[in-house]
Structure 1
Amino acid sequence: MTDRFICKLPKSHWGRWTAAALLALFTLGTAQADTLSDAARTGKLTLGYVTDEAPFSEKTSAGQPEGYSIELCQKVVDAVKGRSGLGQVTAEFRPFSLQQGLQAVADGELDLLCGASTDTLSRREAVSFSIPIFNGGVGALVSKSADPTLIRVLNGEVAHTGPTWRASINRGLADHTYAVHAGTVTRSWLLNQISQRGVIVEVVEVDTHADGIKLIAEGKADAYFGDRVIVDNLLQKSPNGGDLMLIDRYFTIEPIALALPRNDDEFRLVVDTVLSEFYRSDEFDSVYGRYFGPPSESSKFLFKLYSRQK
C-alpha cells in the first residue's frame, strides 16, 4: 500500500496553503511605474530589506540594515543620485518579512526589495526582478543524532539495503516532522516533494529561519528546509551549532534577485546596469568574499554571464 501524504499546518497558516492564496495577496495592477520621476519629485527612494536573510540582509542589533544585498542596493542608490536632477535623493531602508516586502513592492510602497528573493514566474505576476545576484538553493538541517535512515535518504542514498518496492523507496522520508519558513519558495518545493512521494509527515511552518533552527536544536522537528546559504550562516552563529549539521547537498538551484516594481523599464535598466558593472569590476571579489568567501573561477564566470554588456 502506498503511504498517504498528510500535512498538518498550524491554524494561523492555513491561509498560506496554496500558491494561489499567496498570489491573491498581491496587487496585480498594470499601471506604468516611474520610480525615477517619483524620486525626483519626492527626493527619496524607499527600499525594503528582509530582516532574517543574512548574509544577504539582516537587521543588526543597532537596528540598521546589513548584508550583501544591502551593499548592492546602496550601489543602486548611488547610481540614481549620479543622474541629472537626482543628486539630493536620500534612501530610506525599511524592515520587512519576505512576504510583506514582496507585497509592499507590488503595492507601490517600495522601490526596491533588498534580500534573497527567489525569482519565480508566479512572483513575476506581481513584481519584477533584477538580473540574478546569487545562485541559491534548498538545503536541509538536521541534528547529528537524527535517524540515520533519514540522513541517508536526504543525502541521496538508499534508505535500506535488500529488495525494494514503491512503498519502501521513500520510507526513510516518512513519519517525520519537517519545518520550513512560511511564504517561501522552499515551502512550495517541500510540499510538492512530499505530495509526489506520497509519504505521511507533519510539516510545521515558522516565521523565521532562526525559529526553524531552534526546532531542530530542541528536537521538535527532524529536518529544517531552507536556503542553504542562509541556514549555514545562522548555524555558524547558533549556540547549538555543534549538535547540528547541514546535509551536504543542494536540493534545488534557484536564482536570487532584487525585487522591484513591474512596468518600470527605466529603473530596472539602472539596477541591471549597476549590477552588471559591479560583476565585471575589480571590486566584485572583495565584496562577494566578505559574505560568501572568495569566489571560485566558476562563480566569477557565472556572474559575468549574468551581467549585460553596454
Structure 2
Amino acid sequence: MQVPRRYVMAKCMRRFLLANLALCLSAFAADAGTLDTLTERGSLRIGYIADEAPFSSSKPGADPAGYAIDLCGKIADEIEHQLPQLKREYVEMTLANGFDAVKDEKVDLLCGAITVNLVRREIVDFSQPIFLTGASALLRKDSPNYLQTLFLDEPAIRPVSQRVTSTNVIGARASTTTAATLREALATQVSKTRIADFETHEDGLKALENHEIDAYIADQVLLFNLATRARDPSSLEVGDRLFTHEPYAIALRRDDADFRLLADRALTDFYLSDDFLPLLETYFGAEAPMLHTQIIMEHVP
C-alpha cells in the first residue's frame, strides 16, 4: 500500500521540529551562565590559596582573610543584589588544582596572588587586574655575592672571612609562574644553580634560614610579608630589582562575559569609592597611596 505523500511530509516535518528543539535545548544548557548556576545551587563558592598573605591566608576555624579575599567579597556583594539569599562558601585550593576547579565549576571565583598569563587564560578567564608586582628574591645578608649583586641595587660588601659557602640552590614555590620563568632562564645557560620546589612559602623561608638554599624567589610583595614571619627578620633582605611583570586578578569561568562584566563593575565601583584607600592601608601600609594611584590610573576602565 502506498503511504500518502502528505503523511510522509508531516512525519519529516515532525522530525525536523524535534531536532531543532533538541538543538535549542542543548544550546540553552551550554549557555547557562555562572549566575544561573549560582541561582540553582544557592551558594557562591570562593576558592582561595591559603599561603599567599597579604592576598589570601587562613587560620584554623576562621574564614580566609586578605586583600584578594576582600575584593572577592565585593564581587559577592554585587551578586547578592541580584540573589539576596545567596550563601558564601570558602574552598581552599592550590595553584596546582585551582584553575581546573574554576573550569570544572567546583569554585566560582579563585582569589589570591593569581598572576594572569596566556597559559592560564586557556583554562579560565580573569577579572580586571587587582594588583601589579614582579619577581624578586628573599636573601640572607650572608647570601652569596653574585645573588646580592643580581637582586640588590646596593649590595653589601663583605670581607672574605664573612662569606659562606654557596649551595648553588635557589628556592621557589611549586606551580608558580615565577618558578616556571626561572627554569626557562636557567635552561638557556650553562649553570650549576638548580631550583628547589617548595609546597608553601613558609617551607621556602625555613630552608633559607637553615642555609639549605641561597635565595628564595617569589613576587616581591609576597616576600615583604614573608620576611616579617622569619625567626630573625633583620637577618634577611628583599631584593630591590624586579625581573618579571606579574599582574594579579581574580580567576573566573571562561566564556561568561556577563559574569565577568559584573565582577569588573564591582571592582571598579570599589576602586573609585572612599573605602579603597583604607583597605590598601590595612594590607600594604605606607605603600598604599602609591598603590592607590597606580590601580586607579592603570586598572580602572
User: Match for 1:106 among 103, 107, 112?
Assistant: 103
User: Where in structure 1 are there 5+ consecutive unaligned residues?
Assistant: 1-30, 159-173
In structure 2, the residue matched to 1:292 is 284
**CA separation in 2, counterparts of 1:185 and 1:213?**
18
- Whether the aligned pair in 2 keeps the contact of 1:136 and 1:228 (CA below 8 Å) is yes
For 2:59, the equivalent position in structure 1 comes to 60
- 2:93 aligned to which of 96, 117, 140: 96
Q: Which has the larger radius of gyration?
A: 2
Report which of the two has the higher share of helix.
2
Instruction: Give % identity.
Output: 36
Aligned residue for 2:188, secondary structure, equals helix
1:136 corresponds to:
133
Offset at residue 245 of structure 1 (A)? 1.6
For residue 73 of structure 1, what is the amino acid of its counterpart? C
Kept in 1: contact 2:280–2:292 (CA 8 A):
no
Amino acid at match of 1:69: A
Matches within 5 A, 1:186-265: 186-265=178-257
Q: TM-score, normalised by structure 1?
A: 0.79
Alpha-carbon separation, structure 1, partners of 2:151 and 2:294: 27
Aligned to 1:272: 264
The one-letter amino acid of 2:57's match is: E
Whether 1:127 and 2:155 are equivalent positions in the alignment is no
Partner of 2:147: 150
Instruction: Mark the runs of 5 or more structure 2 residues left unpaired by the alignment.
Output: 1-29, 156-165
- Aligned amino acid, residue 74 of structure 1: G
How far off its partner does 1:200 sit?
1.8
Deviation at 1:175, TM superposition (A): 6.7
The SS at the match of 1:200 is coil
2:281 alignment partner AA: G
CA distance 1:305–1:73, shift in 2 (3 Å):
same
Find runs of 4+ consecutive structure 1 residues off by over 6 angstroms. Answer: none
TM-aligned CA deviation for residue 156 of structure 1 = 6.4
Residue by residue over 1:203-240, the C-alpha shift from the partner in whole angstroms, topping out at 9 and shown as x without a partner, is: 11000111111110000000110111112112112223
Amino acid at match of 1:145: D
CA 1:298–1:288: 2 relative to 1, 3 Å: closer
Pick aligned residue for 1:118 from 95, 115, 118: 115
Pairs aligned (count): 263
CA RMSD of aligned residues (A): 2.1
